[in-house]
Chain A
Amino acid sequence: MGREGEVVAQLLPEFEKSHPGIRVKVQQLPWTAAHEKLLTAFAGDVTPDLCQLGNTWIPEFVALNALEPLDRYAAASPVVHAADYFAGIWDTNRVDGRLYGVPWYVDTRLVFYRRDLLQQAGFSAPPRSWAEWEQMLAAVAKRADPDRFAILLPLNEGEPLLALALQQDEPLLRANGRWGNFEQAGFRRALAFYLEMFQRGWAPSLGSAAIANVWYEFGRGRFVFYVSGPWNIGELRRRLPPEQQDRWMTAPLPGPNGPGASIAGGSSLVVFRASPHPAAAWRLIEFLSQPSVQRRFHALTGDLPPRRATWADPELAADIPARAFREQLERVKAAPKVPEWERIATEMRLVTEQAVHGQLSVDQAARELDARADRILEKRRWLLARRGAD
């Protein structure tokens, strides 16, 4: 899918050479159409043998009974060692105690910040806790000219709030994903912190489309903090002029008390149950999971590898902006693993947008979210109740 689909074609000749008898045919999909196409492929019984799958989609495809469990393969594999993968990212591939995918690359969110501007405000290190972060945001905002904001949290992205919510102890859904759990103290705390950044004028209530060129505006100093993902390391290197390169840096996401968790996003490699060649598909997963191949994959795409062994590579270890990600990856947490989660996450973003515009208070937003989640999860409750009755 997307760029990965193009790049993987460059890695495959080596696989075909070392595995005579296996021929791989790659089909590329754009990300925007991938989900729809895969569901249609499933309905039409033409699923591929092996596929890259966004790891939040795995529960959905498990509910469809479309994926082959991989526990047996992984346990016997000389290449794929569960313990070498970051625990949070490995966990996203386990549904109801079984393994359905092998992490291919990781995606998470952390803080990009302007080192020089933070220094001007009197801080030599990035924030580690929410309290420190608030202090810095306030200090930066006070010095700011009217054109500058302390932080950019694009309203069309739900991930920053989700990351803050995952830092809390309480889960976002309760009773095995039967009901929403947004009215508990943890989520309300995260939402209140998030909303505060808008209410105090630290963050502009804009979508990323309204910013147009985020990198240019970041280089110009229109905002000091920016919560975003690993792809922006490459983008900032490519798009900002050389004299601006030492002005920005990355830092792990601050948590309520000291360094906090973030999202365990990314893609996994899965084998479809309908595949006539599951063993050959597993060989390809093993090939793509070798640290040496993952290093090349990282060099080609900039995607972050999911294994500690791959990160031990000197070149990757010397990459300073990537270091914060390495640290963050030890603290990533999976979103609730129910097929309905994507939809609930969308509702979360929409309700939050209303709260940012002042149409809902924190408590009202939490109640609304629980109501919407409960409605979406109705079928799941019915299925679980029926399964329990059998």
Chain B
Amino acid sequence: MRSGAAWWFVTPALLVIAVFFFLPVLAALALSLTDFDIYALADRGNLRIVGLRNYAQLLHTPLFWQAFGNTLYFVVVGVPLSIAVSFGTALLLHSRLVKFPSVFRTALFAPVVTTLVAVAVIWRYLFHPHYGWLNYALGRLGLPAIDWLGDPRWAMPAIIVFAVWKNFGYNMIILLAGLQSIPDQLYEAARIDGASMGRQFRYVTLPLLAPIVTMVSILTIAGYFQLFAEPYVMTQGGPLQSTVSVLYFMYEEGFKWWNLGSASAVAFVLFLFIFGVTALQLWLARWQSAA
């Protein structure tokens, strides 16, 4: 009887999830097995069931692999960098070195709440090869100028810098909350035992923060795999398609060229990959805490 009442309470939520999540996902899965395109939009008779051909073709599309490589590059460099910056700033804010921590906390969190399109305009100026401050700074250091968004080798690093700046504040707040929840007594005890600052950090801060770091890294990796808006507003995938991400590739395939069949296939491949990476991370975290 009791569980019956519980079901009644969760039914609305389950219905919403079913209608707005599971149904579209199933429809997309079905779509990914067809060659739905504008011809099929005109006349359903032009629709062909192609089975797994979209997936097979995808694996033979060089641009897909390039997009995959670009996305991996973005994740592998961007995530550690982003978490390191978040962690560093969180530690600074938590330490007693900083005066007016609330001012800095707000300032460092500000990029997260700015509008991406608006700040992209400013960053495009910062990255400008002739008039940008970044190259001005490089020039001051005696380094050669870089065509940040025009050179295929530098476009992705530029996107990473922009994305890290835009996103680090979010993780910073979470990590800061984690730091503040570590009881002071533990540090006190460590100090009495004669532990240095470094050892306190290694044996008190890190272990207690581990679950939070795990969560932050899972969220960040899943988020960074879905890179889209930054290249969309900054480079439109160029130069030489060096900033095309998997999601950007899917967007073009689906909404620019209206090949909804193969676009759905891209979405599923990306979903499976993120799912796999997250599962691996959770397994690693469990293995580590068990060890």
Contact = CB atoms under 8 A, between A and B. Distances in A.
Interface of A: 35-36, 39, 42-43, 60, 63-66, 155-156, 206-207, 209-210, 212, 339, 343, 350, 353-354, 357, 379, 382-383
A210 B149 contact: yes
Contacts of A350: 241
A210 B43 contact: no
Contacts of A379: 35, 37, 39, 46
Interface string B202-246: 000000000000000000000000000000000010111100000
Nearest to B132: A212
A63 B38 contact: yes
B39 A383 contact: yes
A60 B38 contact: yes
B37 A64 contact: no
B89 to A, nearest CB: 31
B150 interface: yes
A155 B236 CA distance: 13
Contact of B42 (A63, A212, A357): A63
Given A353-B240, A383-B46, A207 B150 contact: yes
A382 B255 CA distance: 23
Given A63-B39, A339-B38, A383-B39, A354 B240 contact: yes
4 closest A-B pairs by beta carbon, nearest first, are A210-B150, A64-B42, A65-B42, A343-B257
Interface stretch (B10-18, B123-131, B176-184): B123-131
In this complex, the member of A36, A65, A207 whose beta carbon has the largest number of chain B beta carbons within 10 angstroms is A207
10 contacts: A39-B38, A63-B38, A65-B43, A66-B42, A207-B239, A212-B128, A353-B239, A357-B152, A379-B46, A383-B39
A211 to B, nearest CB: 9
Interface residues of B, number: 27
A43 B48 CA distance: 18
A43 B41 contact: yes
Interface string B144-156: 0001011010000
A64 B129 contact: no
B38 A155 contact: no
Contacts of A64: 38, 41-42
Interface in B7-61: 35, 37-39, 41-43, 46, 48
Contact of A36 (B128, B147, B236, B255): B255
A155 B257 contact: no
Contacts of A353: 238-240
Nearest to A217: B130
Nearest to A66: B42
A305 to B, nearest CB: 31
Given A39-B41, A339-B39, 18 more contacts: A35-B256, A36-B255, A42-B41, A43-B41, A65-B42, A207-B150, A207-B239, A210-B147, A212-B131, A343-B257, A350-B241, A353-B238, A353-B239, A353-B240, A354-B240, A379-B46, A382-B48, A383-B39
Contacts of B39: 63, 339, 379, 383
A209 B240 contact: no
Given A36-B255, A339-B38, A156 B149 contact: no
Interface of B: 35, 37-39, 41-43, 46, 48, 124, 128-131, 147, 149-150, 152, 236, 238-241, 255-258
A209 B288 CA distance: 48
A146 to B, nearest CB: 15
Nearest to B148: A210
In this complex, the member of B42, B147, B236, B255 whose beta carbon has the largest number of chain A beta carbons within 10 angstroms is B42
A210 B129 contact: yes
Contacts of B129: 210
Contacts of B240: 353-354, 357
B236 to A, nearest CB: 8
Contacts of A209: 124, 149-150
A64 B152 CA distance: 38
Contacts of B46: 379, 383
A23 B124 CA distance: 44
Nearest to A60: B38
Contacts of B150: 206-207, 209-210
A272 to B, nearest CB: 13
A383 B255 CA distance: 22
Contacts of A383: 39, 46
A65 B149 CA distance: 41
A212 B135 CA distance: 15
A155 B149 CA distance: 13
B238 A207 contact: yes
B162 to A, nearest CB: 15
B34 to A, nearest CB: 12
